[in-house]
Each structure stands twice: as C-alpha cells, then as structure tokens.
Amino acid sequence: MKAVRVRKENAEEVRRLAERIGAKDRRRLIKTDGEYVEIPILDGFEQNFRGFEIVDQEIPVENPRRKFLELVSEKVPASVRNFLPTSYKIIGDIAIVKLREEVEEYAKEIANSIMASNPRIKSVWRDLGREGMIRRPKLELLAGNGSETIHVENGCMFKLDVTKVMFSLGNQHERQRISEKTEGEVVVDMFAGIGYFTIPAAKRAEKIYAIELNPEAYGYLLENIRLNKLRNVLPVLGDSMFVTPEGVADRVIMGHIFCQDFLETAIRAIDRRGFVHYHESTPIKVLERPVLRVQRVCRKLGRECKIVEFRKVKNYAPGVAHVVVDALVYKNGCPENPEP
C-alpha cells in the first residue's frame, strides 16, 4: 500500500494535492514518523508525486471512520443509508457527530458503531449547534460516558470539557501557521478560550497576554498553561474590549469570527509596528468586507495599514467563509517590513 513520505512542513501541501486529484486513500490514516509524515495514496497515482519519496506501508493505520460506515450500514434499513453521517470529529478520546433528522431514530446504533470501530473512543456526543457570543456547544450524549478530555495537537495539550467549550479541528493549520511567526514577540490573544492560539504561540513568543471572558474556558486556559509548562503567558479574565493593554504588542490575534467591534481595541494594542490577525465569518458575495473593515479602522486611528495576506481558513456555512486578514499596522516613521 503506497504512501508519500514528506517532511512535516510540506505535508499540508501534499495532502491538499492528493485530495484535489482523488489520490488520497481514505481507508488509511496519515502517519507521523518523527519529522516526517506519510500520506496514503491509491495505487496508480505515484506519477503525480514526482520529486517526493514513495514508500510501501507494511503496517498501515486503518481509518476507523471507514470501518464505522461498514458497521452502521448493517444496522439500519437500506432506505436511510444515504442519510448516514460519513464522518465525525474526534477530540481527544471523545467523538462528536452530526445527525440528519432522517436517521435520528438510529442515533444509538450510529454511536455504538463509532465506539465499536474505534476502541479509544470513550463517549459519543451528538452536535446540536452553538449558543451565544461565547458559542457554548449544545451536545447530547449518545453512548459511553465522560465529556472531559485532553486533545493533543502539534505537540500541545488542550484539556477541555466538550459540553462547555468548543474546539475547532478545522483551525489546526491556522493555529500552527500563526505560532510559527511569534518568535521573540509580545503577543496579545484577545479571545484566548482554552488556549487554542495561545498555547502553540507561547512555544516561541517572549510573552503572551491571553484574554478570555468565559470563566469556564478561562479555567481550562489556566490548566493548559500548567499542562504545557509555560511561564510566559499572562492570563486575563475579562472582556477584551476593556482589559486589552494598549501599545504593547508585536502581534494581536483576533480568533473570534464575530469580533469586528473589537478592531479599534486590537489596533490600539499594537506598539509602533505590528501585525493584526483578524478573523471573520463573511458571505462570499462580500468577501472583501473584512479587509475594508481593517483599513477603515486604521484610517480612523491614524495608523498606516498594509494587507499582507487575506486567506480562507475554511467553509463556515453554504455561501459563507471563515477568513483571516493579516494586516501590518504601523505609525508614520516606522520602517515597513511586510513579512507577517
């Protein structure tokens, strides 16, 4: 069984290529081996990866999601099989699945099949959406027990209760991308949560102000600082609109997708020169809206602004994208260096 072996820094690029051309073997999981990653591909696609090492996997890692589909298909009528979930999220040792109403009555069978296909799963919860500004999860227990877990990502540990705070797996690449830019910097994370951006960024930063409004998320933020043995994080419980320090930061992270009202506060936090990473959920029809907002607020505050990058993080909803603006913000007289 073939796989493309690449260094970690090239893995995302190769994975996307394999997905785009239909070469990725979904029956197997991606394997990590030290500084290298093995991305499973289907036989016959080797020529599409010239320049990369192709290996034969003697001990492949079976994708439990594929096994789950085989198990659950045996437990439900043929008439509803097209409505079964084709995937689910795994956070630590907890699975979270979305169900369509056509298969609601088979929720227990679906949950039990997930647990049977993946022995490390201790509980399965149904995702019913999010509530409020702090986006508290709405979940229903379907099988097993326990809602607290420790999720490991890029060498960082995140302890959380999935019923109390959210964890977006789709933002993993973005968290890693930002963390690689913080070497020796003073960073302000305005919506720290349990430490999604703070924990990986603190591995390189000089100091991080981690601000969180939700007391439950803040409690896990403190635990995760201890778990990861970090001494350069200054946690702050409060509303970032009022407690964000001014004129201290080389970089400000705005990881909440509904935070446009906080842009002035974020820009005031920048020292003479620094970067703002502004996230927003925006309809495709008005895709430039986040950029225009950043530019408008900079003009209002008398700051210069250079948009270094504007990229989609992931799809948020039909016709709506989660995007991030990387903006260099500086005062007149400061040297302009566009590297984010």
Q: Which of 97, 114, 146 is the last residue of a domain?
A: 146
Q: Which of 14, 37, 56 is the last residue of a domain?
A: 56
pLDDT of residue 272: 93
Instruction: Determine contact, residues 162/137, Cβ cutoff 8 Å.
Output: yes
Same domain, 121 and 197: no
Same domain, 38 and 119: no
| CATH at residue 313 | 3.40.50.150
Same domain, 118 and 231: no
Q: Is residue 90 part of a domain?
A: yes
Same domain, 107 and 139: yes
Same domain, 15 and 80: no
Helix H or strand E encompassing 223: helix 215-227
Same domain, 195 and 68: no
pLDDT of residue 267: 97
Domain extent, residue 273, equals: 167-330
Which residue has 């990861």 as its token pair?
A: 228
* Phi, psi dihedrals of residue 65, rounded to the nearest 5°: -65, -35
| CATH at residue 114 | 3.30.300.110
What is the total count of domains within the chain? 3
How many angstroms separate the CA atoms of 222 and 233, rounded?
Answer: 9
Same domain, 190 and 127: no
Same domain, 52 and 72: no
Q: Is residue 336 part of a domain?
A: no
Same domain, 28 and 94: no
| CATH at residue 7 | 3.30.70.2580
Q: Is residue 95 part of a domain?
A: yes
How many angstroms separate the CA atoms of 98 and 147, rounded?
Answer: 16
| The Cα angle at residue 141 between residues 140 and 142, in degrees rounded to 5 | 110
Q: Is residue 160 part of a domain?
A: no
CA 213 to chain centre: 20
Same domain, 128 and 189: no
Q: For residue 150, give the nearest of 161, 142, 140 by alpha carbon.
A: 161
Same domain, 187 and 256: yes
Cβ-based neighbour number of residue 334 at 10 Å: 15
In sequence order, what are the residues at sequence separation of 6 or more whose Cβ sits closer than 8 angstroms to the Cβ of residue 204?
179, 180, 182, 183, 184, 185
Q: Which of 93, 113, 146 is the last residue of a domain?
A: 146
pLDDT of residue 337: 63
Q: Is residue 270 part of a domain?
A: yes
How many angstroms separate the CA atoms of 149 and 161, rounded?
Answer: 6
Q: Is residue 205 part of a domain?
A: yes
Name the burial class of residue 82, with classes exposed (0-12), middle (13-18) and buried (19+) by CB atoms within 10 angstroms of its CB: exposed
pLDDT in tens, the chain (340 residues): 899 999 988 888 898 899 889 899 877 888 887 888 899 999 889 888 988 999 988 777 777 667 788 888 888 899 999 999 988 899 999 999 999 999 999 999 999 999 988 888 999 999 998 766 556 899 999 999 999 999 998 889 999 999 999 888 878 888 988 999 999 999 999 999 999 999 999 999 999 999 999 999 999 999 999 999 999 999 999 999 999 999 999 999 999 999 999 999 999 999 999 999 999 999 999 999 999 999 999 999 999 999 999 988 888 889 999 999 999 999 876 656 655 5
Which residue has 């509803």 as its token pair?
A: 80
Q: Is residue 68 part of a domain?
A: yes
SS (H, E, C) 256-290: CCECHHHHHHHHHHEEEEEEEEEEEEEEHHHCCHH
Name the burial class of residue 294, with classes exposed (0-12), middle (13-18) and buried (19+) by CB atoms within 10 angstroms of its CB: buried
Q: Encoding tokens for residue 126?
A: 């149904």
Same domain, 248 and 314: yes
Q: Is residue 231 part of a domain?
A: yes
| Through-space distance between the first and last CA atoms of the chain, rounded to whole angstroms | 40
pLDDT of residue 168: 84
